[in-house]
Structure 1
Amino acid sequence: MAAKQRIESVDILRGFTIAAMILVNTPGTWSKVYAPLLHANWHGLTPTDLVFPFFLFIVGISISFAYKNKPKHGATYRKIVIRSLKLIGLGLFLGLFLPYPPFIKDFEVLRFPGVLQRIGVVFLISAILFMNFNWKTLLKIGLSILISYWLILGFVPLPDGSLPTFDRAPNNWANYIDLKLLGKHMWKPDYDPEGILSTLPAIATCISGILVGRILANAKVNKLVYLVATALSLLVCGYLFSIWFPINKAIWSSSFVLVTSGWATLILAVIYYLTDVLQFKLGTIFKYVGSNAITIFFLSSFISKCFYLIKVNEQQSIHAWLYNNIFVHSFLSDKLSSLLYALSAVMFYLALGYVLYKKKIFIKI
């Protein structure tokens, strides 16, 4: 399989992941959402919890292709740093921007972490690791992160001498550090799902993608067999590990890393089998979105924020007006109406991805 084809297969998964991100982030109303389209309250795993780790996993695969033969000199590292800073900057811009005067949110309530910020940090560290270590060392680094994270969160006493827990409380090390260092600059008063300490296992998620990317790049192995075997190994290890360290997206637990990487690898194996082995032309629309993934995700977040904040009258924002006047009907349930709004947003951005791709517009962040 040629490199272009391998990248195309990954583009399909990347585009599907972006579409899923938009679907779960853009309901008609957050008060009426089907359970699978919501995150787990704390411990547990829903389909929505798979979306973000899937994207970081794909970032790892992309790193394994993009930097495989890059020279280890200042220019390459400079490009890595610049791209990371762009991602972080876009994330902070989304947090700061207001679509009305004074156009900038009060810095005192600005949330520092975020999805794009985490992608930027994880990309930076993972790309540098990939440039300097072979796959065996990367595997050891990833495993060391997961084991160390479990030991710290589960067994190291907090400064006041209390024993740590995995619960949503200040005596959870991930939450404790975020509260101390971020204070008011968090998503919730007591924790942030893209917090400081939980970024470490997120790097392990990206490393898992790098290692799977190595399988895709290896012309000497049966890729499908290796992908399925890797997926099953990750899933078995992850669910077993969850006995001692519960699956939890909010703190990005080590078992969460293993299980989500396992599902990502398994779904990639299915896509690979259908598109590259059987030559079925399925999911091409997702390839279009995947070719401008960050751009489309950023635009969807930016436009959604504007729709929520810009008023069309004293009672309704653009979002509320569109939802109530187009999607709410007596013959539809509230949850179905809310889902149809989200699906319409997905269809819009799929169409945008198609137009950009056909016009050969590829905006690289």
Structure 2
Amino acid sequence: MEDARRVGQRPGETPLIKDDHDSKSEDVEPTAKEETVITVLNPRSSVSGENKVVEEQLVVKPKTKRVATLDAFRGLTIVLMILVDDAGGAYSKIDHSPWNGCTLADFVMPFFLFIVGVAIALALKKIPKMSAAIRKIALRTLKLLFWGILLQGGYSHAPDNLSYGVDMKQIRWCGILQRIALVYFVVALVETLTTKRRPTVLEPGHLSIFTAYQWQWITGFIAFTIYMVITFALYVPDWSFSVSDDDGSKRYTVKCGMRGHLGPACNAVGYVDRQVWGVNHLYAYPVWQRLKACTLSAPNSGPFREDAPNWCRAPFEPEGLLSSISAIVSGTIGIHYGHVLVHFKGHAERLKQWVSMGLCLLVVAIILHFTDAIPINKQLYSFSYVCFTAGAAGIVFSGFYILIDVWGFRTPFLFLEWIGMNAMLVFVMAAQGIFEGFINGWYYKNSDNTLVYWIQKHIFNDVWHSERVGTLLYVIFAQITFWGVVSGILHKLGIYWKL
């Protein structure tokens, strides 16, 4: 996600977090029958020595069937993140879209938020004590914020740079985990506070699932309204920024003086972040630097054109405040899919709800994008982008559900399940490059002569006589496959990173 490295479980956690308010029920198939009572005859000896037969009732809890699709979908999202972050530089078509449009990398963040919503619906099916649930939601949100700032704020320079530390004047406050924290907090809190309004049985009708959870949808609509009003109504004035290099610091000015602009220079999303966080605390390497207006190497990275506009050198926060408010809608759609899983018992009923909604979202997104009303744009987290990626998530989730939970083709997806069960570990160690950074700390003669470099060069690049192909194969085998095996071993040992 804008290179996750520059940017922290036990079965049943969300993409990067676990809701254990009802840890026995999370990611578990809802069952209509809660328990079975069995009467047994137990011969006992009385005090007087007489043999008597005493009836005992044993309460047997049925084994719940885990929905393996959730773990597999979560694992797929982590795998995509590793692939696009580490191989995206070699293959620009899978890297983030420089501005409008949607590539493979642009699906990662909304897929995370979608599965966060699904898992919250299962974790909060039953809330024994609301105050305790709220405390846990707040604590988990703070943990996510802490890990996000630590890993993506600039403190860690893994895996290539062995130093650590960050200038507090330049620290990045936003990032992947911070966005997940905001969405999780809002969606989980609404789910908790509306517990008493939650129906046990749905009314007849295809739309009853929507009316039953109207407060969740009202929250999503409020987030959508706030985003749309600010995006199209906020006036964006001229702004300036400084860039430091070996020749010193140079100041640039970007001319705006407009509202409703959806281009890189003068959009309201960037303006809000500059006002709230400060221009020095934003992401310094936005993907728009790969646009044709900025470099002759487009769509790849390269030196700036001599006539490149000033905004090409400017920072921009892809996980900023206003765009994160829009991202709440992704979590709302995800929790709807979770509600369907809870209330509908048959496979056909669930798939009917899921697929129909996914297709509707895709149609809305395509119409908005190709009519130029609201282009699909990950950096702005536009409404068409929300619909397109959420619709895609719903279709992929439904496909996984058919293959894994309906048809029982679980074995080919086991490695994704294992990664999904230990998503936090793989995110930190692989996507954030912490494990590679640790390995690089043991070098020979100079810091460039490391085991990771030797493996990349001699086992992959030299063998295939191509740095691009070698990079892709290295990511597939030395990272994704490796962490799939590690996650499988940890799963067999019952070891999970629980946030």
Distance (whole Å) between structure 2 residues aligned to residue 184 and residue 311 of structure 1: 34
Moved more, 238-247 or 249-258: 238-247
Instruction: Report how far residue 77 of structure 1 moved.
Output: 0.9
Distance (whole Å) between structure 2 residues aligned to residue 244 and residue 231 of structure 1: 21
3-state DSSP of counterpart to 2:322: coil
Return the TM-score normalized by structure 2.
0.67
1:52 to 97, 101, 109: 109
**1:8 equivalenced with 2:68 (yes/no):** yes
Where structure 1 has 5 or more consecutive residues not aligned to the other structure, the ranges are none
Distance (whole Å) between structure 1 residues aligned to residue 174 and residue 439 of structure 2: 22
Match of 1:178 in 2: 273
1:342 to 454, 475, 486: 475
**1:266 equivalenced with 2:395 (yes/no):** yes
Moved more, 109-118 or 151-160: 151-160
Instruction: Report how far residue 259 of structure 1 moved.
Output: 0.7
Where structure 2 has 5 or more consecutive residues not aligned to the other structure, the ranges are 1-27, 31-63, 199-212, 239-256, 285-313
Instruction: Report how far residue 48 of structure 1 moved.
Output: 1.3
Distance (whole Å) between structure 2 residues aligned to residue 290 and residue 256 of structure 1: 25
Return the TM-score normalized by structure 1.
0.91
Root mean square deviation of aligned Cα: 2.4
1:137-286 aligned at under 5 Å gives the runs 137-158=215-236, 162-169=258-265, 171-182=266-277, 183-188=279-284, 189-220=314-345, 222-242=349-369, 243-281=372-410, 282-286=412-416
Distance (whole Å) between structure 2 residues aligned to residue 308 and residue 206 of structure 1: 37
1:303-342 aligned at under 5 Å gives the runs 303-304=435-436, 313-314=445-446, 316=448, 318=450, 319-329=452-462, 331-342=464-475
Instruction: Report how far residue 151 of structure 1 moved.
Output: 3.3
Q: 1:308 to 1:240 in 2, by over 3 A?
A: farther
Instruction: Report how far residue 258 of structure 1 moved.
Output: 0.8
Moved more, 136-145 or 158-167: 158-167
Match of 1:109 in 2: 170
Moved more, 60-69 or 114-123: 114-123
Instruction: Report how far residue 312 of structure 1 moved.
Output: 5.0
1:97 to 149, 152, 156: 156
Q: How many residues align?
A: 361
Instruction: Report how far residue 164 of structure 1 moved.
Output: 3.1
Instruction: Report how far residue 272 of structure 1 moved.
Output: 0.7
- Which has more radius of gyration? 2
**1:85 equivalenced with 2:142 (yes/no):** yes
1:62 to 107, 119, 122: 119
Instruction: Report how far residue 72 of structure 1 moved.
Output: 5.1
1:129 to 184, 190, 204: 190
Instruction: Report how far residue 127 of structure 1 moved.
Output: 0.7
Query: Retained in 2: the 8 A contact 1:165–1:172?
Result: yes
- One-letter identity of the residue aligned with 1:124: F
Query: Retained in 2: the 8 A contact 1:175–1:190?
Result: no
Match of 1:358 in 2: 492
Instruction: Report how far residue 268 of structure 1 moved.
Output: 0.6
Moved more, 266-275 or 173-182: 173-182
3-state DSSP of counterpart to 1:151: helix
Instruction: Report how far residue 25 of structure 1 moved.
Output: 1.8
Distance (whole Å) between structure 2 residues aligned to residue 39 and residue 224 of structure 1: 30
Q: Percent identity?
A: 30
Distance (whole Å) between structure 1 residues aligned to residue 261 and residue 442 of structure 2: 42
Instruction: Report how far residue 230 of structure 1 moved.
Output: 1.1
Moved more, 57-66 or 281-290: 281-290
Query: Retained in 1: the 8 A contact 2:174–2:317?
Result: yes
Distance (whole Å) between structure 1 residues aligned to residue 129 and residue 157 of structure 2: 41
3-state DSSP of counterpart to 1:250: coil
Instruction: Report how far residue 5 of structure 1 moved.
Output: 4.1
Moved more, 76-85 or 325-334: 325-334
Q: Which has the higher contact order (CA 8 A, sep 6+)?
A: 1
3-state DSSP of counterpart to 2:70: helix
- Structure with a larger share of its residues in strand: 2
Query: Retained in 2: the 8 A contact 1:130–1:138?
Result: yes
Query: Retained in 1: the 8 A contact 2:235–2:258?
Result: yes
Distance (whole Å) between structure 1 residues aligned to residue 463 and residue 492 of structure 2: 40
Instruction: Report how far residue 71 of structure 1 moved.
Output: 3.7
**1:289 equivalenced with 2:385 (yes/no):** no
Q: 1:49 to 1:305 in 2, by over 3 A?
A: farther
Q: 1:250 to 1:230 in 2, by over 3 A?
A: same
Query: Retained in 2: the 8 A contact 1:150–1:245?
Result: no
- One-letter identity of the residue aligned with 1:163: R
Deviations 1:117-154 (A, max 9, x none): 21122211211022124622212322342244233212
Distance (whole Å) between structure 2 residues aligned to residue 251 and residue 91 of structure 1: 20
Distance (whole Å) between structure 2 residues aligned to residue 146 and residue 232 of structure 1: 20
Q: 1:304 to 1:234 in 2, by over 3 A?
A: farther
Instruction: Report how far residue 37 of structure 1 moved.
Output: 2.2
Distance (whole Å) between structure 1 residues aligned to residue 463 and residue 325 of structure 2: 48
Distance (whole Å) between structure 2 residues aligned to residue 105 and residue 312 of structure 1: 27
Match of 2:99 in 1: 42
Instruction: Report how far residue 58 of structure 1 moved.
Output: 0.3
Instruction: Report how far residue 337 of structure 1 moved.
Output: 1.1
Moved more, 295-304 or 34-43: 295-304
